[in-house]
């Protein structure tokens, strides 16, 4: 769907419309990050990076701004905002599967930490890129060629399906396949964005580690002896080392003592390295397919500033909410 919608010019149009806001570069980045957070919370972080990375790149290019803050802001904010609702991140469903609570109850318990992580991430990004955002802009460097069609219709339909259905995965898949066939999207173009081998490998690793977690209680026992802060650090390290989806399966064959602290580490830790989440892998491929040049090294260097701030703020908010 994303490939078909990009060919329609949908993302370029959205970026151009955002670029017309009568505000400066810094407020514009803040608004863009807020949009990423909203889409991540309502849909999920993988959807956010897949659809909003093109939008924010086109936004920066149309305004003539340095695209780096918008490029990295998309993926970092997607991870930071993935704590609001159960469906915002698959790790939420895996780690807290034993609770079986409604989305409203989940939100009531996690929104202070989620809001703190979003605010801290935005603040760090605005500070780190203050000079890039202060540089003179050169508006109008990118033209918009819009031919809204099959891809745009598929995005609209799939968004409705995600919002109204309790189990939208298969209907959305069917919508995506239909759009791809109808738009006559080339196989090479699809593979340039989505690598089935990476997705298949990640799934196989999650299944394998889930089986390991069922007969080896070492990781679960480790979490049982740790406090809230240590648990979050273990979650962050496991996410970077294994990817957060397989790590969440390995660490939670039984309910951990500090499940939400673990969730913070698993969701925010991936901002330290692109190995940490599927969203970062998707972000890399989408960005490169659009002519951007994301750097794995720059990602981790930025993460060294973002993760301590966002994880610390989220843990403090989680602690304050539990005490209150």
Which of 93-102, 201-210, 259-268 holds the top average pLDDT?
Answer: 259-268
Instruction: In whole angstroms, give the CA distance from residue 155 to residue 161.
Output: 10
Which segment, 6-20, 31-45, 181-195, is predicted with the most confidence on average? 31-45
> CA–CA separation, 13 vs 74, rounded Å?
18
- φ, ψ for residue 323, nearest 5 deg: -70, -40
Give the model's confidence band at 29: pLDDT under 50 very low, under 70 low, under 90 confident, else very high: very high
Where is pLDDT greater, at 216 or 83? 83
Q: Could you identify the residue written with the tokens 């994303």?
A: 2
Q: Which of 170, 150, 149 is nearest to 161 (CA)?
A: 170
Q: Higher-confidence residue: 211 or 282?
A: 282
Residue 51's pLDDT is 84
- How far is 24 from 275, CA to CA, in rounded Å? 34
Q: Which two tokens stand for residue 129?
A: 């890129």
Q: CA of 204: how far to CAs of 3, 10, 91, 200, 317, in Å?
A: 26, 34, 16, 6, 35
pLDDT at residue 144 tops 60: no
Q: What is the mean pLDDT of residues 219-228?
A: 77
Global pTM reads 0.83
What is the structure's pLDDT at 16? 76
Residue 30 pLDDT: 95
45-49, 125-129, 311-315: range with lowest mean pLDDT: 45-49
Task: State the Cα–Cα distance between residues 317 and 324, nearest whole angstrom.
Answer: 10
pLDDT of residue 307: 97
Q: Which of 256, 253, 201 minimizes the C-alpha distance to 231? A: 256
Q: How confident is the model at residue 56 (pLDDT cuts 50, 70, 90)?
A: very high
Structure tokens at 53: 């990375």
pLDDT at residue 131, as a whole number: 92
- Give the contacts of 160 (CB within 8 A, at least 6 positions apart): none
Of 112, 108, 120, 34, nearest to 78 (Cα)?
Answer: 34
End-to-end CA distance of the chain: 44
| Highest mean pLDDT: which range of 87-96, 186-195, 208-217 | 87-96
Task: pLDDT band for 96, please (50, 70, 90 cuts).
Answer: confident
User: Which candidate, 240, 245, 239, 161, places its Cα nearest to that of 208?
Assistant: 245
Mean pLDDT of the 28-46 span: 89
Percent residues over pLDDT 90 in the chain = 35
C-alpha 7/C-alpha 17 separation (Å) is 17
pLDDT at res. 3: 72
Q: Pick the residue with more confidence: 162 or 319?
A: 319
Least confident range from 40-54, 123-137, 188-202, 217-231: namely: 188-202
What value does the mean pLDDT of the chain take?
Answer: 84
pLDDT per position as a tens digit, 110-140: 899 999 999 999 999 999 999 999 877 666 5
Burial of 205 (C-beta count, 10 Å sphere; 0-12/13-18/19+): middle
Q: Which two tokens stand for residue 201?
A: 């490998």
Q: Note the maximum CA span of the chain.
A: 60
Classify 167 as helix, strand or coil.
coil
Task: Identify the DSSP state of 273.
Answer: -
The residue-averaged pLDDT of 99-118 equals 85
The single residue listed with the structure tokens 């514009």 is 28
Q: What is the model's pLDDT at position 194?
A: 67
Listed in sequence order, the residues at least 6 apart from 168 whose beta carbon sits closer than 8 Å to its beta carbon are 158, 161, 162
* pLDDT digits 0-9 by tens, 214-223: 666 767 677 7
Question: Per-residue pLDDT averaged across 142-151, rounded?
Answer: 67
């Amino acid at each position: 769907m994303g490939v078909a919608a990009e060919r329609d010019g949908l993302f370029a149009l959205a970026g151009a419309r955002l670029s017309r806001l009568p505000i400066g570069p810094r407020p514009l980045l803040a608004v863009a990050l807020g949009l990423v957070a909203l889409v991540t919370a309502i849909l999920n972080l993988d959807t956010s990076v897949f659809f909003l990375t093109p939008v924010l790149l086109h936004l920066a290019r149309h305004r003539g701004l340095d695209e780096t803050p918008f490029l990295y802001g998309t993926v970092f904010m997607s991870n930071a905002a993935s704590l609001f609702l159960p469906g915002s991140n698959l790790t939420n469903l895996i780690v807290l599967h034993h609770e079986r609570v409604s989305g409203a109850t989940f939100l009531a318990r996690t929104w202070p930490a989620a809001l703190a992580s979003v605010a801290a991430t935005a603040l760090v990004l605005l500070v780190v890129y203050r000079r890039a955002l202060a540089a003179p802009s050169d508006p109008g460097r990118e033209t918009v060629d819009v031919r809204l069609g099959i891809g745009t219709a598929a995005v609209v339909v799939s968004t409705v399906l995600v919002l109204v259905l309790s189990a939208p995965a298969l209907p959305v898949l069917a919508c995506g396949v239909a759009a791809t066939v109808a738009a006559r999207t080339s196989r090479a173009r699809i593979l340039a964005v989505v690598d089935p081998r990476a997705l298949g490998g990640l799934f196989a690793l999650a299944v394998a580690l889930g089986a390991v977690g069922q007969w080896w209680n070492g990781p679960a026992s480790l979490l049982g002896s740790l406090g809230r802060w240590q648990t979050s650090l273990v979650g962050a390290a496991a996410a970077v080392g294994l990817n957060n989806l397989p790590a969440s399966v390995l660490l939670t064959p039984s309910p951990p003592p500090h499940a939400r602290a673990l969730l913070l580490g698993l969701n925010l830790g991936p901002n330290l390295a692109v190995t940490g989440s599927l969203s970062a892998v998707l972000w890399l491929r989408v960005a490169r397919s659009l002519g951007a040049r994301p750097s794995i090294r720059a990602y981790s260097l930025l993460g060294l500033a973002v993760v301590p701030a966002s994880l610390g703020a989220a843990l403090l908010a989680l602690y304050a909410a539990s005490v209150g």
